[in-house]
Amino acid sequence: MCGIVGIIGNRTLVARTGLIDKMTDLMDYRGPDGRGSVIFEDDGVALGHRRLSIIDPKPSGAQPMQSSDRRYWIVFNGEIYNYREIRADLESQGEQFHSQSDTEVLLTAYAVWGEQCLERFIGMFAFAIWDTRDKKMFAARDRLGVKPFYFAAADGGLVFASEPKSILVADSKSRDVDRSLIDAYMSFGYVPGTQTLFKGIDRLLPGHCLTWSAGKLAIRQYWDYDFSKQQDKGVAAHVDDIEALLRSSIDLRLRSDVPVGVFLSGGLDSSTVVSLLAPGAASGLKTFSVSYDFGPNYDETPYAREVAKAFNTDHHEIVVTPQGFLDFIPNYIWHMDEPVTEAAAISLYYVAKLAREQVVVCLSGEGSDEIFAGYDFYAYNLVMEKIRAVAGQGIVGGAARVGRALGLSRKLQKYLDLANQPLEQRYKGISSYEDAAKQRLYTKEFTGECHKGNPELQGFIAGIFSKSKQWDALSRMLYFDTKTWLVDDLLIKADRMSMATSIELRVPFLDHRLVEYAASVPSSYKMCGNDPKFILKQVVKDLLPKSVIQRKKMGFPTPLEMMFKGGALYDYARETLLAPMAVQRGYFTRTTVETLLEDHRNGREKNHRELWQLLVLELWHQKFTDMASK
């Protein structure tokens, strides 16, 4: 796991003294074990790398790395888990290696097979390769988007990095805010798709690769998956196949030349990872958990301890205090780069910090909910689909109007309004914020801006639903969340918070072989009645305690509701959100924000999610974009 940066085709930027090193060192936490750079002044090309040594920590594995024929240079972030098998294949073709690193395997694979090398990789990766002969850059991001890749146009050239903050060093214009995406942030809690709130900084989408040559940029999709070929082989056969794929995925992700542990929340997903380790491997394995001292609703450690005891792991825990949460917020904003409404990220930072005292690599359970249907929200939406099918849209719409007239609770009214819309209109993922609540917040002027929309984002969302239009409702939701919520919220959180502590985080559930297979499993085996992740529970029913399998999902719960009711976090939010600078941005009306604060503190409404979302956005402006005017 590392940090990569690059300048391609821009002599002016390359000539700036020390720029590539400044871009690289801004992410020193991503790679505390070494720094490297290479510059080709005549081509206007510079590559930089921060190294976190995982495989072959010797100097022979350092980057940027040059191919044996001196034609190619690579900077690479991530791991190719099946590098040993690929290396053996290349050696059988006469290729020779000078290190034991997966970086050299990746570079040689590209030299031999070209862009088709991507089809052979099992792993998480974001890399860029400069071809010194053809003056061309090739870059790629892994299939599910575990590793990030950002880029921005720069006077006919390109600047790229693992994190936007490094691009900002080279291109201050990118500090401008893309106001057309603020509404998307408020809708989702993050910005999905190719664009970011930094105007001009884009993401390379998962499963995509990029080529730059002679000032021209070309992007293509090299991988996707679909749900159109579901096959009912029976529960037992699917269970056997899923278990075999999971064991293979976990075994590959244990490959490391440094100590490995597991983030163990005590939930089904992380507990499954521990239970499926090779026989005996869990014994003595270091596991790590986090909780808040706010009672059982914010403490999963009893379940984690139960699993740790069952598999004899070396278990460690950390308790986060409200003050510790508050103190880390500025660092959270800095490390995330983009505004993302994911308070659980702070919990992840603290448990990763704990783990870094003893290990360098940790496995976790991200991705399971999105491929095996782990959220209750899926069941709610499936009920809505049935209601619409039976009652018809007219009756549902009438019920929603009556509900508003009667003044039903906000939550009940929300679901009535949602049921009145077809799936592609109502479904915005797990963290969606209802339109009516947003409109109450917006100023009149900003409401007018929002009506203009963002055509690129709208096209991205429409494309997801267009591809899935022939699939069943659950498959459509899973596909949507994998393309949005998973990559731009959960995996951003996982990458940034683990990297902030110099931990490499590996996610076995997102092995593309397992993701593809899960899509072929009938939806009724994922959400069986109202039982989420039914098929995964069958895989581990004889391995894990029933209390763990049957427990309700928590997922690093954060006591935002309680902390916003008073004390330091409430005071901090009030001071930040009602400050003249925040009001003058013109997004939100001051009186409505003040009402959100007071209604939550007095217990009239639960507004903690909205308050956190507003706080993150304002602090992001202060940290990254207000500097544009200085």
Angle 470-367-433 from CA coordinates, rounded to 5°:
70
Identify the CA nearest to 424 among candidates 370, 470, 490: 470
How are beta strands 286-292 and 260-263 bridged, if at all?
parallel
* H-run or E-run covering 479: helix 473-483
Question: What tokens does 273 get?
Answer: 């990872």
Nearest to 367 by CA among 530, 508, 499: 508
d(CA 422, CA 477): 12
Q: What is the distance between the alpha carbons of residues 445 and 174, in angstroms, rounded to a whole number?
A: 24
Determine whether 2 is an active site residue. Answer: yes
Could you tell me the two tokens for 517?
Answer: 């297979």
Q: How far apart are the first and last CA of the chain?
A: 34
Residue type for position 128 = A
Torsion of CA 366, 372, 376, 382, to 10 degrees: 140
The upper half-sphere exposure of residue 84, i.e. CA atoms within 13 Å in the direction of its Cβ, equals 7
C-alpha to C-alpha distance for 399 and 419, rounded to whole angstroms: 10
Given the residues 2, 117, 209, 362, the one annotated as active site? 2
| β-pairing verdict for 208-213 and 136-141 | antiparallel
Q: Please list the residues that pair with 320 across neighbouring strands.
A: 292
- Between CA 559 and CA 609 the distance in angstroms is 11
Give the length of the chain: 630
Q: In sequence order, which ranges of 312-409 are alpha helices (DSSP H)?
A: 322-336, 344-356, 368-372, 376-391, 393-406
* Residue among 1, 338, 75, 4 nearest 194 (CA): 338
Pairing of strands 123-131, 72-80: antiparallel
Q: Which residues are catalytic?
A: 2
